[in-house]
Structure 1
Amino acid sequence: MSRTAAIQAAFAPAHAEKLNAFLRQARQAVATSASVQVVMGNEACDADSMVSSLVHAFTASAVPVMSVDRDQFALRCEVSALFRAAHIDVDALLFQDEIDLAGLHAAQKLRLVLTDHNKLKAALAPLDASVVAIMDHHDDLGAHGHVTGSSRDIAFERTDAGGRALVGSACTLVAERSLSLEPLEATLLLGVIALDTMNMDAAAKKGTARDQAVLDKLDALSLVPRHDLYVWLVEEKFSPDNWSRFTFANCLAYDYKRFESSGVSYGSSAILVPLPTFWAKGESPLAQLEAHRARLGLTFALVQSMVHAVDGPKRQLLLYCPDRRLRDDLVAFLNRAPLQLTPLDALGEPAVDAFDQANIAMSRKQLVPLLDGYLATLPKM
């Protein structure tokens, strides 16, 4: 039996009956309830955001909303595969283009819980007053200052090296708060925490003691052994077959986050193919990258690549900044930062700066606080 078949065989439709019934009821509640509590992950809508918002909403009797449009769900290969295997009714899930959050806010019906981020994306910024709770493991950006105390659970500590997350996954925070979990929900959380922490691989430096404690608890409840689930999810996430179907634009949109710092807007796309493979997907990659930057109103764009090679994880970094002076400043900063960069010439495009990154532990989560701190030292643009 293949690994995929074995994973699928571990799930039965009965395991998902309660969750699916809840999802259908949650859809109805949006239209009929006097007050709606929505749980929503970050704009990248990765596995951590989707599962943390789904499971927390289920345990809190709230409404989970996936923070992308429905037609973008297929790009989340590992989550799509996990939900299919688990018999989760994807048709019953609510996506951001299927709910009028602004209308609920205007009617004073919205209570918004953020998971896996602590600042609403720009398009949702007017909903600030509706934010009632935050569960996150990224640098605290200081937004939604009215959310305080235990309602503001941001498990991140700033350091001179950019900071460190106190947990490797927002799903860890959800599991810590959950007094009891059904086997299906435990399995979903287990898989994502294992994925986010690289299954507690010490070399990756992704997991913490809090993650390990939660994994131990979830292991006893899970429908699938952690190692088997982790290996399968990694295969789905990094599948060359899946990524071969992605266009250049799909890659940029797959795990995209926008940041604002000191008057500078920039975007970061995390991809799971080598930079040369990504670059080759574009018929006119530089023109497409410039169109992406201009359409989103960005000063510069980053693309961060990670792949699982035979000898371990590999990272690469691309910078595109049409402002020559800022570009030079950013390249100098990146070379000083603890990324351990060496130039990558394989793209053959002088308008972008590409690097191999030896420090695989330095992800977007660690780079962004350093980058924001640097941008704050520059003259206002």
Structure 2
Amino acid sequence: MENFLRGCKAALQNKDGYEFHVVLGNEACDLDSVVSAITLAYFLSKTSSSKNLVYVPVLNIPREDFPLRTECGFFLRENGISEELLTFRDEVDLAELYESGQLSLSLVDHNVLPRSDSFMEDVVTEVIDHHVLERKPSANCRVTLELVGSCNTLVAEKIVQEAPQILDLQLAALLRGECQKDTFRGGGSSEFLRREGLENDLQVFCRKYGYNVLVAMVITFTAENEPIRQIAVYSQQGELRKLVSRALEQATSPSLDLSLTSCGPCSHVTAYSQGNASASRKKVLPILKDFLRKNDSSSRPMQAFQEAEDSKGHSGFNEQTLDNHLEATEFPGDDGDQSDPQDDPKGRGYRSHYRKQMEDGIEDENSFPPTPMNSLVEGCPLDRGLPKLTAEAILERISRITMGDTEGNSITGGQ
């Protein structure tokens, strides 16, 4: 596995003579997405006969954000994969590869590209996912989709069926370990808040993006497969933290049924247990937007909370900030000014094309970007808890795999 990942990075440094098939995880970059991307790319490389086609797993976040994915880093290190071996979204120019005709894509743990990436839709050749299907059918794209608890389950099944000979101890540990961890049982926000150096990490993150406040949501499951949601508010500005916390506490559409919990050593965090477990991010976000609207129109503008340390020149914490940074980052680097098309490094003017769509009213202000429908958003198969595993269900799955193998052998023999 180490040699495979090093080979990917080396090929990306010297692109000439290569074509690249990128296995792209979702923008949440959770453990399921990370392991699915790595293991599927490894499987494809081991079963490919092409010497010029490089299969690259790409984690769909900037490298500098990866330390915030503490579970991912810990799990990979446990299984012999260091962070230096990974390839992140900011380390490969997909637009350049696309325009040069060197790119094809597999999507794992999501099945539709966000608008900012939709220019690459015609080179998506495979999708493996466990969320509700959102993409349109295409003869050029093979879709494997089943509403199971983990996308990695489907990748593991593919490997077992098509190339069991590549399974070594490390690959088996990655597949098995992630499937076990993807039951979302754990300490939730309390475990997160106890992490060493958390306050400093949060402060650095806020300074980098010009945020005055962060709202984090966590979901875990009890031993009885019942979902538990928790929510935490972080801000160095105590008055602002109180205002945002009060808005969440007093919300009625819907009521979050919040009760205070321990913040551990974090002195700038207010943490809650969320009694209304059905209130997902998409239901909490409008509460925050409504709070911002009311404060923007009041006699006490949110700009009063802007600290001098904000070196990026943001004008304040307002609804537009929330739309741009919490809801979606649709046009990275695009400040809305008109620019020369020759200055666009990605070419094709796709940013201006989608901005034009927005201005034409194709999407209204209440719309949300397509997000991976995992347990952090509503509509997930796990919203009512994990599926009950029975001996009958396991036997039925094994029978299906056996039947598939038998049919495949029959067809091969007939040829």
Shift of 1:121: 2.1
Deviation at 1:84, TM superposition (A): 2.1
Q: What letter is aligned with 2:194?
A: P
Q: What is residue 367 of structure 1 aligned with on the other side?
A: 379
Q: Distance in 2 between matches of 1:308 and 1:87?
A: 36
- Are positions 1:27 and 2:20 aligned together? no
Does structure 1 residue 51 correspond to structure 2 residue 38?
Answer: no
Partner of 2:145 in structure 1? 154
Asked if 1:142 corresponds to 2:96, the answer is: no
Structure 1 position 85, deviation (Å): 2.5
Alpha-carbon distance in 2 for matches of 1:288, 1:102: 39
Secondary structure of the structure 1 residue equivalent to 2:195: helix
Equivalent-residue separation in structure 2 for 1:35 and 1:234 (angstroms): 42
Q: Which residue of 1 aligns with 2:407?
A: none
For the 8 Å contact 1:78–1:236, the answer to whether it is kept is no
Higher-Rg member (1/2): 2
- Is the aligned partner of 1:111 residue 2:65? no
**Among 271, 278, 300, the residue aligned to 2:233:** 278
- Answer yes or no: is the 8 Å Cα contact 1:43–1:121 preserved in 2: no
Q: CA deviation at 1:271?
A: 3.6
* Structure 2 CA distance for aligned equivalents of residues 246 and 321 of structure 1: 23
1:60 maps to 2:14: no
Alignment partner, residue 247 of structure 1: 202
How far apart in 2 are the matches of 1:122 and 1:269? Answer: 24
1:77 aligns with 2:90: no
Cα distance 1:313–1:50, how it changes in 2: closer, same or farther (>3 A)? farther
CA distance in 2, matches of 1:245, 1:173: 38
SS in 2 for 1:39: strand
Higher strand proportion (structure 1 or 2): 1
Which residue does the alignment assign to 2:157?
176
Q: How many residues align?
A: 241
Question: 1:202 maps to which residue?
Answer: none
SS at structure 2 position matched to 1:367: coil
State the Cα RMSD in Å.
4.2
Contact 1:39 1:64 in 2 (8 A): yes
**1:192 and 2:192 correspond:** no
In structure 2, how many angstroms separate the alpha carbons of the residues matched to 1:313 and 1:246?
24
The residue type equivalent to 2:30 in the other structure is: D
Partners of 1:137 and 1:287 lie apart in 2 by 38
Q: Which amino acid aligns with 1:367?
A: G
Q: Distance in 2 between the 1:190 and 1:124 partners?
A: 31
Alpha-carbon distance, 1:322 to partner? 3.7
* 1:69-106 deviation line (CA, Å, top 9, x unaligned): 00011000011112223231321211100001001101
Q: How far off is 1:234 after superposition?
A: 7.7
Give me the identity figure in percent: 29
1:254-288 alpha-carbon deviations (Å, 9 max, x no partner):
xxxxxxxxxxxxxx96446842x325666535999
Matches within 5 A, 1:96-135: 96-135=89-128
Pairing of 1:216-255 with structure 2 (within 5 A): 238=192, 240-241=194-195, 244=199, 246-247=201-202
Secondary structure of 1:142's aligned partner: coil
CA shift digits 1:323-377 (9 cap, x unpaired): 69x99xxxxxxxxxxxxxxxxxxxxxxx99xxxxxxxxx94454389xxxxxxxx
**Residues 23, 37 of structure 2: 8 Å contact kept:** yes
Cα separation, partners in 2 of 1:95 and 1:308, compared to 1, 3 Å: farther
Show structure 2 runs of 5+ residues with no match: 46-54, 209-214, 220-228, 246-255, 263-272, 295-318, 323-373, 382-415
Do the aligned partners of 2:21 and 2:105 also contact (CA within 8 Å) in 1? yes
| 3-state secondary structure, aligned to 2:77 | helix
Taking structure 1 as reference, are residues 274 and 197 closer, same or farther at Cα in structure 2, changes over 3 Å only?
Answer: closer
